Structure 1
Amino acid sequence: MDFNILSPMAVTEAELVATNVPEDDHPDWSATETYEAGARVISTDTHRIYESVIDSNTGQDPTLDDGSAWLELSVTNRWRAFDQNRSNTARQADRITYSIVPTQDCDAIALFGLTAGSLRIEVWDGGARIYDQRFAMVDAGHVVSAYTWFFGSVVYARQKVVNGFPGYLGHRIDITIDAPGGVAEAGHIVMGRNNLLGRVLNLPSVRFVSHSRKGYDDFGNEILVKRGSTRKVDLSLLVPTHQAQRVMDIVAEVDGLATAFYLSGDGPGYGIEGLGFVDDHSQPIDVAGESVFPLIIKTLK
């Protein structure tokens, strides 16, 4: 099994050329409007949602405020699929579409926090469609017996990695997330260049990390406060020593960025797939030919 990681590109107004997700979460902020505490507005310049924390709030631009008049809540619905936060999902009835023109080589897309029956990726070179694939999002991994095949509920995958398509500069990539009759959702979309780092050695570990806490009410009774969970992936890669510099450069390139990682090959993924960041990487060098590189990645909620 090979370990892959994406070098993510930023998706801004320059790359996002079309979408069916409106940016109308709340009214646009107006310099002449008076807002009371709790009123919410958006800025289409910053693509953020703001809430007034004072009454009689007039003429105070939330994008320039120091927090005394406005509280920044989150990005707008349209941009939530690109805010490096999987749990803050973009939502749209029936279907979400994004059309993106890459500003760097982009041969892979990883989508997380999906609610969808199917996913479609198209690539256009001018007016010619040069790639078109649709993926059913039914997760057959939950079928573990004849009973679950016939009587188990349908389970849909929440994430998908697509790679190997011709996403060169100037091409347009169309993403369609379909949930007919329901609400389509996308938590975070990573687009960029796929990098194969090395072969995964036996006994990688995937640790479940709960962020829930135990609290107490006024009478001393225990209360569980649910706060979600993440995973910590600890593995070792076998890499040809002459490629050590390449691997170090890729790790440095994705440092501090939310990126996607996954296993490729004939075997199963064993849960080593997700949205996360490189937490630790060391490279002991074996000049004999191949080196074993430890790598730790932490996922994002």
Structure 2
Amino acid sequence: MDFNIISPLLITEAHLTASNILEDEYPDWDAATTFAAGDLVLSTVTHRVYESMQDSNLDNDPTVDDGTWWLDLRATNRWSAFDNRRTNPARRADAITYSIVPTMDCDAISLWGLNAGEVRIAVWDGATKIYDETFVMVDRGNVVSSYTWFWGGVVYARHKVLNGFPGYIGHRIDITISAPGGMAEVGNIILGRNYLLGTVMDGVEVQHVSHSRKEYDQYGDEMLVPRGSTRKITIPLRVPTIQGPRVMTVISEVDGLVVSFYGSPTGGLYGVEGLGFVDDHTQPLDAAGDSVFTLVLKTLK
């Protein structure tokens, strides 16, 4: 199984040309309005939601505030799909649409934290549609017995990875996330350039990291405080030694960036897929031919 990483295009207003999600879930901040503690506003400049920390909050711009008057809560609903988190999903009844015009060649896309029956990706070169594919999000991996086949219910996949489509500079990429009759959601979208790093070897470690806490009440009884979890993934990769500099260059380029990584774009992703960052990379070289590199990645909530 090959291992891939997607180097992201950082989405800005110049890239996001259209969406059916409006930035109107809260009023836009107005310098002439006095806000009370707890009032919520948004800024269409920063695409963030802010909470007033005090009463009599007048003419204090939340986009430059130091936390005295405003608390920066999260991205707006329209921009939640690009805030490098899965726990603050973009949400809209029935369907979500985004149109993105990349400023670099993008041959891969990944969508995380999905609530959808179908995902459709279409690519336009001017007025000509050059790519159009719809993916049904039913997850058949949950069928593990005759009982689950007949009575297990329908389970939908929470992520989708696609590579090899023609997302060249100037093309328009239309993304449609459909949940007819329900609430469509997407936690994060990574659009960028796909890099094949190497072949996954035996001995992959997938570690569950719980961020929940155990506290005690006044009587000494335990109380569990759920705070979600992440994963730490340690992957040995076989790479031709001559390609060592290429792999190290790719890792250096994505250092400090939120990336998508996965083992297989179709079928099961074997638990080594995720939205996260490179934590460590050890690259011993074997002059005989192939080298085994160890890559450590951590996922984001």
TM norm. shorter chain > 0.5: yes
Q: 1:134 is aligned with what amino acid?
A: T
- Whether the 8 Å CA contact 1:2–1:265 is kept in 2: the answer is no
Residue 254, structure 1, aligned to residue 249, structure 2: no
TM-score by length of structure 1 reads: 0.98
Q: CA RMSD in A?
A: 1.1
Q: Identify the residue that residue 148 of structure 1 maps to in structure 2.
A: 148
Change (3 A) 1:266 1:290: farther
Matches of 2:127 and 2:217, distance apart in 1: 63
Residue 34, structure 1, aligned to residue 37, structure 2: no
User: Following TM superposition, by how much is the alpha carbon of 1:264 offset from its aligned partner in structure 2, in angstroms?
Assistant: 2.7
Matches of 1:266 and 1:178, distance apart in 2: 20
Identify which range, 215-224 or 109-118, moves more after superposition. Answer: 215-224
Residue 3, structure 1, aligned to residue 3, structure 2: yes
Q: 1:80 is aligned with what amino acid?
A: S
Any residues of structure 2 matched to 1:171-182 within 5 Å, and which?
171-182=171-182
Residue 63, structure 1, aligned to residue 63, structure 2: yes
Matches of 1:267 and 1:90, distance apart in 2: 25
- Whether the 8 Å CA contact 2:122–2:133 is kept in 1: the answer is yes
Unaligned stretches of 5+ residues in structure 1: none
User: Following TM superposition, by how much is the alpha carbon of 1:119 offset from its aligned partner in structure 2, in angstroms?
Assistant: 0.3
Q: Identify the residue that residue 73 of structure 2 maps to in structure 1.
A: 73
Unaligned stretches of 5+ residues in structure 2: none
Any residues of structure 2 matched to 1:134-145 within 5 Å, and which?
134-145=134-145
Corresponding residue SS for 1:21: coil
Show CA shifts across 1:100-152 (max 9, x none): 00111100000000000000000000000000010000100000111111111
Change (3 A) 1:25 1:300: same
- Whether the 8 Å CA contact 2:2–2:263 is kept in 1: the answer is yes
Q: Identify the residue that residue 229 of structure 1 maps to in structure 2.
A: 229
Matches of 1:264 and 1:36, distance apart in 2: 51
Any residues of structure 2 matched to 1:258-273 within 5 Å, and which?
258-264=258-264, 268-273=268-273
- Whether the 8 Å CA contact 1:37–1:53 is kept in 2: the answer is yes
Q: Which runs of 4+ in 1 moved over 3 A?
A: 265-268
Matches of 1:268 and 1:287, distance apart in 2: 34
Matches of 1:172 and 1:267, distance apart in 2: 27
Residue 99, structure 1, aligned to residue 99, structure 2: yes
Q: Identify the residue that residue 83 of structure 1 maps to in structure 2.
A: 83
Matches of 1:265 and 1:83, distance apart in 2: 23
User: Following TM superposition, by how much is the alpha carbon of 1:266 offset from its aligned partner in structure 2, in angstroms?
Assistant: 8.5
Q: Identify the residue that residue 19 of structure 2 maps to in structure 1.
A: 19
Matches of 1:174 and 1:82, distance apart in 2: 15
Identify which range, 128-137 or 263-272, moves more after superposition. Answer: 263-272
Change (3 A) 1:131 1:180: same
> How many corresponding residue pairs?
301
Corresponding residue SS for 2:3: strand
Corresponding residue SS for 1:295: strand
